[in-house]
Amino acid sequence: MGSTVSEDRWFFAPDDHWRGDEVWLPSDESHHAQRVLRVTPPDVITVTNGCGLVARCAVQRVQDQHLVAEILDREQRRPLRPEIVVYQGAAKGAKVDSIIEKLAELGVAEVAVYQSARSVAKWDRAKVQRLNHRWRSLARSAAKQSRNPFALKTQGVLSWDELLHRVGSEQLAIALWEEGFLPLRTALTGMVDRVAIVIGPEGGLARVEAEALADAGAQLVSLGPRILRTENAAVVAASALLFHYGLIG
């Protein structure tokens, strides 16, 4: 008999890895389970597809470098409402990595990075593809760590015009701007299904950009007298929204 692993050891398996009464962990998850966490049959683990499905599973065998587990019971959970989406201005270094990780732990539903006039970071198509692959991996890991069955979705990098189009289609859109005079709490209405918040890049939003966001339907708001770094503003604003709607705290 192997030592029983606590059931709050969470692993990720996409939908095509669920086969009848069994789930096959992807190769990277299988490697982590075996080499790092020392998972062996008949240990009990928790597996999610990142879209709300959570299953308690008993490890059965290793096949073709995949850990295969029997599904003991499963549950389809519902996402919390409202969904929070963050449009984050491109930032240099590992700042976006940190933002993705922290927002995923908080339970933010989606993050899309965008390029703007004052964005310090400039990425070509190949770089964007590599970054988005890494962001998805970070989001998945953060969801497992925080026991969130809904992995944060990343949307690559948007152009400025794409951002305006997205903002215009949101049910409730808010943009942080250092010259905004409307407090964040004042901009929040009753219960909605989805709230989007735009965070400026390291250099902030230019006035013409803030006005364009307002024309697209976003309310220009302030978090108060302090000027926060972009990576901190994203976390503070998301936390404030989650608290306001009773999703944390």
Which tens digit of pLDDT belongs to each residue from 146-171?
Answer: 999 999 999 889 999 999 999 999 99
Residue with the bigger pLDDT between 93 and 56: it is 56
Q: Is the model's pLDDT at 223 over the cut of 80?
A: yes
Task: Spell out the domains of the chain, with CATH numbers in brackets.
Answer: 10-76 (2.40.240.20), 83-244 (3.40.1280.10)
Q: What's the confidence (pLDDT) of residue 4?
A: 41
With H, G, I as helix, E, B as strand and everything else as coil, classify residue 241: helix
Beta-carbon contacts of 188 under 8 Å, excluding residues fewer than 6 positions away, are 172, 174, 195, 241, 244, 245
On average, the pLDDT of the chain sits at 91
Helix (H, G, I), strand (E, B) or coil at 81: coil
Q: Tell me: pLDDT of 213 over 90.
A: yes
Closest CA to 200 of 169, 181, 179, 224: 179
Give Dmax (Cα) for the chain. Answer: 66
Q: Tokens 């069994």 — which residue? A: 22
Question: For 32, which DSSP code?
Answer: I
Q: Is it the case that residue 108 has pLDDT exceeding 50? A: yes
Is the pLDDT score of 5 beyond 50?
no
Confidence of residue 6 (pLDDT cuts 50, 70, 90): very low
pLDDT confidence band for 3 (50 / 70 / 90): very low
114 has pLDDT over 80: yes
Reply yes or no on whether the pLDDT at 121 is more than 90: no
Task: Give 126's contacts (C-beta < 8 A, 6+ positions apart).
Answer: none
Residues contacting 138, CB < 8 A, separation 6+: 97, 100, 101, 104
- 192 with 236: CB under 8 angstroms? no
Separation of alpha carbons 48 and 34, rounded Å = 18
Model confidence at 122, in pLDDT bands (50, 70, 90)?
confident
For residue 249, what pLDDT is reported? 78
| H-helix or E-strand spanning residue 158 | strand 153-158
Binned at pLDDT 50, 70 and 90, residue 190 comes out as confident
The arithmetic mean of pLDDT across residues 89-99, rounded, is 91
24 token code pair: 């096959």
pLDDT of residue 7: 52
Q: Which residues contact 201 (CB under 8 A, 6 or more apart)?
A: 89, 90, 91, 116, 118, 119, 120, 121, 230
Q: Which two tokens stand for residue 53?
A: 């499905």
Given a cut of 50, whether residue 80 has pLDDT beyond it is yes
Beta bridge partners of 10: 46
pLDDT band with cut points at 50, 70 and 90 for residue 1: very low
pLDDT band at 125, cuts 50/70/90?
A: confident
* Mean pLDDT within 197-216: 95
